[in-house]
Amino acid sequence: MINKKNLWKTADNHNIEERMRKIQSAPVPEHIAIIMDGNGRWAKKRALPRVAGHHEGMKTVKRIAKLANRLGVKVLTLYAFSTENWKRPKAEVEFLMKLPQEFLNSFLPDLMEENIRVEMMGDETQIPSYTLKAVQRAMEETSGNDGLILNFALNYGSRAEILMAVKNIIQDAKNDILLEENLNEDLFSSYLMTNQLKDPDLLIRTSGEVRLSNFMLWQLAYTEFWFTDVNWPDFKDVHLFEAVEAFQKRSRRFGGLS
Ligand code: FPP
């Protein structure tokens, strides 16, 4: 007997493949950065505790990382925990610090199968050792993968990052490792936590908030921004397609003329 539901599914899959092929026929952003916002509101709408929103948000990370990889995106940087997020209730902070462990334990086989490499940027000194260990293990195990770099911003703050760069530059200048006349934007960038990565081409922020919240202030100088009202746990494949399609329609002039 013909199963109507499966027929629809096949048609849906066909549409998705078609849309992906179309996106891939134009330049795909090499580096996408996402401020994953709205987990708390997603939970509140459903009368669930805030942490349920974070947990659902983790599932979105899995889906979107796989899709970005399939699209040919080279780097996906996700704002998972900011230097300001310590101000949240202790139980929520603890939950967020335990999420990487759960995420990486359950997702490592997929990461290997999909050839995805895990990276992390942020101040490691305050991060609990169990969190750091889980991330470091995933970084080690995936270090040979050469597909998407899944870069977690964990205890990351852009102002702190810039300040750290300035301090290290001063130190290197004092020790004659760096000459003032050689200091330019590229050299400055090499002191940032993103020194191995190109600047993001596309920034996505979910949940309707329109601000940067101390995220990659230096690196986003010429990035295209895309905002959506959708809360992060509700962010689906179609939303990533929409963001990338919008990006592909933009004319990037980097201060020059097209
Ligand atoms: C902002 O939403 C979200 C965060 C501070 C945490 C982001 C973490 C995840 C999406 C979980 C995935 C993490 C890993 C390591 C896989 P909010 O809590 O500020 O939402 P609200 O503004 O609606 O309250």
How many Å apart are CA 65 and CA 148, to the nearest integer? 8
Residue 44 Cβ inside 6 Å of ligand 1? The answer reads no
What pLDDT, in 10s, does the model give residues 55-72? 999 999 999 999 999 999
How many domains are contained in the chain?
1
Is 96 a domain residue? yes
154 contacts 81 by C-beta, under 8 angstroms: yes
Ligand 1 touching residue 150 (CB < 6 A): no
In a domain, 182, yes or no: no
The alpha-helical segments, DSSP class H, found in 114-236 are 129-141, 158-174, 185-189
Atom of ligand 1 nearest to the CA of 43: 23
Phi, psi for residue 223 in degrees, rounded to 5: -80, 145
* Parent domain of 238: 27-157+199-248
6, two tokens: 């499966």
Q: Give the CATH number for residue 131.
A: 3.40.1180.10
Q: Is the minimum distance from the CB of 61 to ligand 1 under 6 angstroms?
A: yes
167 inside domain: no
Q: Known binder of ligand: residue 99?
A: no
Does residue 100 lie within any of the structural domains? yes
What is the structure's pLDDT at 4? 66
pLDDT of residue 63: 98
- Note whether residue 79 is domain-resident: yes
Nearest by Cα to 198 from 62, 64, 33: 33
117 in a known ligand binding site: no
Please tell me the distance from the alpha carbon of residue 200 to that of residue 82, in angstroms, as a whole number.
18
Selected residue with higher pLDDT from 229 and 11? 229
**What digits encode the pLDDT tens for the residues 130-189?**
999 999 999 999 999 999 999 999 999 999 999 999 999 999 999 999 999 999 999 999
Q: Please indicate if the annotation marks 39 as binding a ligand.
A: yes
Which residues, listed in sequence order, are joined to residue 224 by a DSSP beta bridge? 202
Please indicate, yes or no, if residue 51 is contained in any of the structural domains.
yes
Cα–ligand 1 centroid distance for 80 (angstroms): 6
Read off the pLDDT of residues 31-61 as tens digits, 9 standing for 90 and up.
Answer: 999 999 999 999 999 999 999 999 999 999 9
Asked whether residue 15 is domain-assigned, the answer is no
Q: Is 36 touching ligand 1 by the criterion CB < 6 Å?
A: yes
Asked if the structure places residue 149 within a domain, the reply is: yes
